Chains A and B, each alone.
Chain A
Amino acid sequence: MTGQLKKLTANYDEPDLHRMEVYERLGGYGSARKAALDMTQEEVLDQLEASGLRGRGGAGFSMGKKASFIPEGTMEKYLCCNADESEPGAFKDRVLMQRNPHQLIEGCIIGAIAAQATRAFIFIRGEYETQAKMLDAAVTEAYEKGYLGSGIFGSQTDLELVVHRGQGAYICGEESALLDALEGKRGNPRLKPPFPANQGLYQGPTLINNVETLCNTPAIIEHGPEWFAAMGVDKSTGTKMVSVSGNVQRAGNFEVELGIPVREIIYGLAGGPPEGRDLKCFFPGGSSAPVLTKEHLDLPFTYEAMAEAGSMLGTASMIVVDDSQPIVPLALNLAGFYRHESCGKCVPCREGTNWTVHMLERIDQGDATPMDLEIMAEVQTNIIGNCLCVLGDSMAMPIGSMIKHFRGEFEQHIEAARAARDREHIRAFSAGELAAAGEAGPA
């Protein structure tokens, strides 16, 4: 496999695609109409399940299966579209929403039918102001057309869709924190179980899907699950939006068929690191994914292969790091982000991210010993698996992987920074600033 395979983004060069008439002219809302009028809820669910479509938000759980967990019954059910794209390195949902908002709305309608939801919410990241406005405009158009509201497409099915803007917290991308935030509470993750499919928004069964996942559903309904499953390899079916950023020559979003070699993404599509530099490591699935190195370049880009290599496909946000980048500032920047975004609810994440940042700062400033590296590695182990949600793991796993792959560089950094600091002290001493140095504090 080489190059892009444009399915989701097939019509992205069409002018004014965000407008209803253009979207409809290109066949838009056909699938939603079909799902609402000609298909039963079971049929929609079966098709989604048969397609093998896996969640594109990071966890990679089968979308159809997740929808099938929604219990029967007369209680109010909900669909939530997770558009709180905040993962460092991820910017695919932004493009999907601003180029083709109707595709997402259509996906929401199909998802809602599969989940028997009569109320749907798009929880969009607060900073995505333009995208939220475009979605709002598109939702208004859909209401005017009768594709949303009571009796969508003239069927017996009702669907209300609300675009809700978040307030800029990374944690609200965690599905249960998203639900709390949507309910007007502090956006803190909930204890699971109960899972949202059973008790989600306002205690009702709730299907939560990522933007890209829902955007995939119209094509599946249109062309059939076999068409979708034919793309990709094994259990990684279909195409995937990949956001490549970092030290590459052509950063951007690319739609590729799952199974494409990683090398083809980094070097083929994104042009590889700038001239004269070499690849040091890369995050295959956003900043939460443990880093991989050159030896992993020829792996196929699938959920399975990435997991086997000790990382994850995640949101498929490829952050590329070349050999000009020292690892310690990278780790510090990353840990600092997670410390800032930790909600503070559970102990290992709240204290562990804070501690890690402190240790990395000391390492960077020459105030650490190689023993601190041991402690730091152990702190990461103590975080992983012990937290309420995955945010703690999201820092501990990549930091842990950096220590694993670049222990030598960490140690060198510790020694070099210590030496530099000692030199600075000696310089100050010889310049006759003894008194000042003495007051300044620690030796």
Chain B
Amino acid sequence: MARPQIKEISFEIDGREVRAPEGTMLVDAAKSGDVEIPYFCYEPKLGQPVGACRMCLVEIEGMPKLQTSCSTPVKDGMVINTTSDRVKSAQNAIVEFLLINHPLDCPVCDKGGECPLQDISYGWGGGKSRFIEPKRHFRKPLELSPLVAIDRERCILCYRCVRFSQEVAEDYQLVFLERGDHTYVGTHDGRPYVGPFSGNILDLCPVGALTSTAYRFRARPWDVEEAGSLCTLCPSQCNVQLTIRDDSKVLRAFARDNPEVDDGWLCDKGRFGYQAIHSEERLRAPMVRDGSMLREAPWDHALEQAAAALTRAGAGTAALAGGATTNEEAFLLGHLMREALGSPHLDARAGGALDPQQARVLARPDLSARVSDIDHADVILVVDTELVEEAPILDLRVRKAARRNNAKVVTLTGRPSSLDPNATAAVRFAPGAAEAALSALAAELGSGRATGSRLHSRAGCEPGAIGAAAEVLRAAGDVVVLWGERISDGARGASAVDALLAVAGALGIVDRPESGLIEVPAATNARGMREAGVAPGLAPGLTDAPEAGMPAAEIAGALGAGELSALILLHEDPLATHPERRRWQTALDTAATVIAFTDFVTTALRDYATVIFPAESYAEKEGTLTHPDGRLQRVRQAIGHQGQVRPEWSVLAELAGRCGARPDVRSAPQVTQKLFATVGFLDGLTLDEIGGKGVRWQDRDAASNLPRAELPEGTLEVPPELPEGMRLGTVPSLWAGTTVEHAPSLRFLAPVQRAELAPADAHRLGVGSGDEVEVAAGGQRLRATVALRQAMQPGSVFLVSGTADNNATALTNGVPRTVEITKTAGAVNGAGPPAAAPAAPGPGAQPPPV
């Protein structure tokens, strides 16, 4: 389904001739004539209008009754009156009705001063009340969730929060309870409204009924300023508006609508994660190791120590960049490593390096989709990524496409996907068998490249499942493929990407401008870092590096073996994110020097770091990031640097200078300019051009400077057979990591380790939901709580990666591996195993206690 072509029409509003796109709702079209029509319930982001508040009634010539302008599309020649006596008396009436049971406690209401109800009452109300009866009362305020307080007396029942829960987040938790004038908003089961997107109802509420527990009573609108920036907590890179007090404190974050990126939504991590910026535990000054202790040190001393150690190590230095490293920081890290220290060993990926040629192919403009292509796709193929954990805002985007535009969703994942209920076809493969699954799909789609027999069983898929998915895809026009970076991990990563490209080839994606691939990476700015040259084989601009370096896994080995002696960790803690935790432990232990840039001192850094520089928070940073779809966006400084924190670009530049290759940069924009001048396909780009909404480099002429890369041909490699046993998969948690741990409002969401099992496997292992188990592989073990999932493929177990304790990285080693699961303790809360396990117990097996 292609993007609709919209033509302009002209209509008359309040005596003025106005032009607007055909089909726009009157309430929006009126704005083209500088006419404001008041409304409460209308919010196009929520889908179809509901016409509940009746505030937007207007008179349309030829229609006997007043019409809701939120639900009436403008037509050519329409004549609309928004100021007639009839309309005015209706508006007065609605405001009067709305206010009769409203407490009018504006002086103590958080919304006061930025409240649509207040504004509309002043603008369109009668200014007096004739209601002398007692007002309706509810208990208030109550916690709707730990994040949101609800004041039901202020609520005007506009439906927005309920519609968000029902039709956007699709968590179906919020409902209207009771009816008539007793109606109130609550959760259907009376439990707290907890979901990854619950905070959006704060933005949606047009009155002071839903307030943020983190922001309540902190400030009045006239005390604060707003600053537009970018959330750098996940690859979604949502546009945010930060509420700033006294140029120094972030009080709130809310969405800054950008339909090309986030559609105006934020996840709760992005909304409340700002609290970590002001956490007491945040590092605000450099630290230098003094014996077994890390001590706060003056900047000059810290820089001197770091520079001296790095100079000593020279080409024996390696660097890992992660998380929210900006393009500029990545660029300067590359400069520090390659120019100053002469070391090619830098990486930004935990799972293994991407083949340089494949990186260039994947960057091809004709192969990449933009986020808004999801809206208009016929089929969305989700390959081995759990969007709600990895790029949550894209999860909402896929739901929207399926719900509103009837896009079909195909999930091809190892773990049951939260999008399965929306999917036309859902295919499960064994953890780590993405390559076989993609090869099988390519074969079903008629790609001549796929060979090998029994690809289904190599993928561990149900027979026929891939065929069903292929059938949906074959009939499709535009296809958007959202693929998880993890398929390219490990030794077979290149073959898996090759299989993905075979699928893309079979779907004819390069020939369809609105079809394409979007990678869902592990790190926020994975794409930007890669394109700025933080990859073992790639220089800035995706050109081949003059000297190939080691990828992360090899760096660990080389450090452990003493072949490398220094390690720079730019926003990265390998013990939290990289596989083979024990190997990294050895590496850190052996390394002579570990220089880290971080905002929170993790256990690993406390134990092993030589020098730690305090990292900027995203609210303090100036720079650019690259969205997974190629959109460069600016992160803007919103508050002054906290404590002694310095701009990290300047620290990197200073380090490079002290190591003998001072880059010619004196300000953040200069670094950006230098980067753009170096990267061919960013040539001529300026910060002004990026502006507030970002620019996709593929849409600029300079995109032709991307080194040429042909789609691969030739047959795919035959994927290996599956290992026998319980196969281990991991899933990241949105709530894992230091931001959540240090944001008081979010802390309750921090994940604990759980082992997700199919009921049949749990039955066989004699464990039930809530049981404590030990999961072991290769001599490593961790503890987890069993969680049963009906849709889990038998033979699979999934652990959470990134948890503070019992992190799954202890067991992962970059190849599909099997684990042993043993029960250590029964369920704490007495929840037993499922009553009816599908598989019959084997001979002699004891049925589990009920």
Residues on A facing B (Cβ under 8 Å) = 169, 171, 186, 188, 191, 193, 339-348, 350-355, 358-359, 362, 375, 382-383, 385-388
Contacts and interface: CB of A to CB of B under 8 A. Distances in A.
Contacts of B54: 346-348, 386-388
Contacts of B66: 385-386
Residue among A169, A345, A355, A388 with most chain B CB within 10 A? A345
B687 interface: no
Interface in B47-93: 48-55, 57, 65-66, 68, 71, 89-90, 93
Sorted from nearest, which 9 A-B pairs have the closest CB atoms?
A: A344-B183, A382-B93, A354-B181, A191-B51, A342-B180, A351-B97, A358-B133, A344-B180, A347-B97
Given A347-B156, A351-B97, 10 more contacts: A171-B179, A188-B176, A191-B51, A344-B180, A347-B94, A350-B97, A350-B180, A351-B100, A358-B133, A385-B66
B52 A348 contact: no
Contact of B50 (A191, A355, A362, A385): A191
Given A362-B133, A388-B54, A352 B176 contact: no
Given A351-B100, A382-B97, A385-B66, A346 B183 contact: no
18 contacts: A191-B68, A191-B71, A193-B71, A340-B180, A344-B157, A344-B182, A345-B157, A346-B52, A347-B53, A347-B157, A348-B54, A353-B181, A354-B101, A355-B100, A375-B130, A382-B89, A386-B90, A388-B51
Interface in B116-162: 130-131, 133, 136, 156-157, 159
A345 B159 contact: yes
B57 A350 contact: no
A386 B87 CA distance: 10
A186 B93 CA distance: 27
Contacts of A193: 71
A342 B52 contact: no
A352 B97 contact: yes
Contacts of B55: 347
A139 B187 CA distance: 38
B94 A350 contact: no
Contacts of B776: none
B181 A342 contact: yes
Contacts of B176: 186, 188, 344
Nearest to A343: B179
A346 B57 contact: no
A339 B183 CA distance: 12
A interface majority secondary structure: helix
B49 A344 contact: no
Contacts of B100: 351, 355
Contact of A382 (B96, B133, B159): B96
Contacts of A339: 180-181
Nearest to A351: B97
A352 B96 CA distance: 10
B661 interface: no
B207 to A, nearest CB: 13
Interface string B167-206: 0000000011011111100000000000000000000000
B702 interface: no
Interface string B244-259: 0000000000000000
Contacts of A375: 130
A343 B180 contact: yes
Contacts of A355: 97, 100, 131, 133
Given A345-B52, A346-B53, A351 B179 contact: no
B98 interface: yes
Nearest to B97: A351
Residue among B49, B53, B68, B180 with most chain A CB within 10 A? B180
A346 B53 CA distance: 5
B89 A351 contact: no
B57 A386 contact: yes
Contacts of B89: 382
Given A191-B50, A191-B71, A347 B98 contact: yes
Nearest to A194: B48
A224 B182 CA distance: 50
Residue among A342, A351, A355, A375 with most chain B CB within 10 A? A351
Interface in B30-58: 48-55, 57
Nearest to B178: A344
A353 B51 contact: no
Contacts of A358: 133
Contacts of A191: 48-51, 68, 71
A353 B175 CA distance: 22
A118 B156 CA distance: 41
A386 B96 CA distance: 13
Given A347-B94, A347-B97, A375-B130, A353 B180 contact: yes
Contacts of A359: 133
A362 B101 CA distance: 17
